[in-house]
């Protein structure tokens, strides 16, 4: 199965991806996670990306595309792209890359989420710095404050999850990323799903739709 997860920040792409990855046995490739790892390791690429990410802006297309091309070449057949593409230019570049590596896309899952829900989800979101496990201060806090239940790593708030930056990221999504929906619609690849739902319910619906469409055996 070869998927793209599309949706605004806070739609729940990462949480859904964590479940789909295991159920479908495919690689989860998140450009946000890759960039955060590069920033943590203070690599030249990480340093270049940092100022864009802290301001809630997109990193340049060429940089994001380079990351994805690398991973797709190395990944097994099945994959799920989370946070890429984010512009129409990236979507077109992705088509070229997928043709080169002979791993064409099956489906684009497009999540739609109410803006006020995005703000409350992201304001409460916390992430493990080591393993990336996701928490929410109200709905799913770690058992011990600041410590990951899974690996014992540090649980922190992403600097770009503050309300002002989140509002800017939502604007960036509307302006730069939403046009991709039309792009994939014209290619008949879109599956719309309700990002307001709880992840586990959404996961069940998505798996059912895949079975009905004969996309997963």
Interface residue with ligand AMP, options 2, 28, 86, 121 (CB under 6 A): 86
Q: Tell the smallest beta-carbon distance from residue 30 to ligand AMP (Å).
A: 6
Q: Are 113 and 5 in contact (CB under 8 A)?
A: no
* CB-based closest residue to ligand AMP: 32
Q: Check binding of 7 to ligand AMP (CB under 6 A).
A: no
Q: Are 45 and 38 in contact (CB under 8 A)?
A: yes
* Region near ligand AMP per CB under 6 A, out of 78-86, 95-103, 187-195, 201-209: 78-86
Beta strands, E only, 56-186:
79-82, 107-112, 125-128, 134-136, 155-156
Q: Which residue, chain included where needed, has tokens 């990193």?
A: 59
Residue 17 binds ligand AMP (CB under 6 A): no
CA dihedral 120, 123, 131, 31 (to 10 degrees): 80
- Site for ligand AMP contains 29 (CB under 6 A): no
75 binds ligand AMP (CB under 6 A): no
Minimum CB distance to ligand AMP smaller for 42 or for 211: 42
- What Å distances lie between residue 144 and 67, 141, 152, 153, CA to CA? 35, 8, 9, 11
- 71 vs 215, which CB is nearer to ligand AMP? 71
Nearest residue to 29 via CA among 96, 91, 74: 74
Given the complex with ligand AMP, which of 120 and 216 has the nearer CB atom?
Answer: 120
Considering the rule CB under 6 A, would residue 126 count as an interface residue with ligand AMP?
no
Q: Could you give the CA distance from residue 34 to residue 30 in angstroms, rounded to a whole number?
A: 6
By annotation, the residues acting in catalysis are 13, 86, 125, 158, 169
Site mask, ligand AMP, residues 49-68, x = CB under 6 A? ---xx--xxxx----x----
| Segment (H or E) for 192 | strand 190-194
Cβ contact 97:89 at 8 Å: no
Interactions with ligand AMP, residue window 163-192 (CB under 6 A)? 169
Residues that bind ligand AMP (CB under 6 A): 9, 31-32, 35, 52-53, 56-59, 64, 83-84, 86, 90, 160, 169
């Amino acid at each position: 199965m070869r998927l793209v997860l599309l949706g605004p920040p806070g739609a729940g792409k990462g949480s859904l991806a964590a479940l789909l990855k295991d159920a479908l046995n495919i690689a989860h490739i998140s450009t946000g996670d890759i960039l955060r790892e590069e920033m943590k390791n203070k690599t030249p690429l990480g340093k270049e990306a940092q100022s864009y990410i802290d301001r809630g802006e997109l990193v340049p297309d060429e940089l994001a595309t380079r990351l994805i091309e690398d991973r797709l070449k190395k990944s097994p057949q099945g994959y799920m792209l989370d946070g890429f593409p984010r512009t129409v230019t990236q979507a077109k570049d992705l088509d070229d890359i997928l043709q080169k590596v002979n791993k064409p896309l099956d489906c684009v899952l497009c999540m739609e989420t109410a803006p006020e829900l995005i703000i409350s989800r992201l304001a409460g979101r916390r992430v493990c710095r080591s393993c990336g496990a996701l928490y929410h201060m109200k709905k799913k806090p770690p058992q011990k404050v600041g410590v990951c239940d899974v690996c014992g790593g540090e649980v922190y708030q992403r600097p770009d999850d503050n309300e002002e930056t989140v509002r800017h990221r939502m604007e960036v999504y509307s302006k730069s990323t939403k046009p991709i929906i039309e792009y994939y619609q014209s290619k008949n690849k879109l599956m719309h799903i309700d990002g307001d739902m709880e992840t586990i319910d959404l996961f069940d619906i998505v798996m059912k739709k895949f079975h009905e469409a004969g996309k997963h055996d």
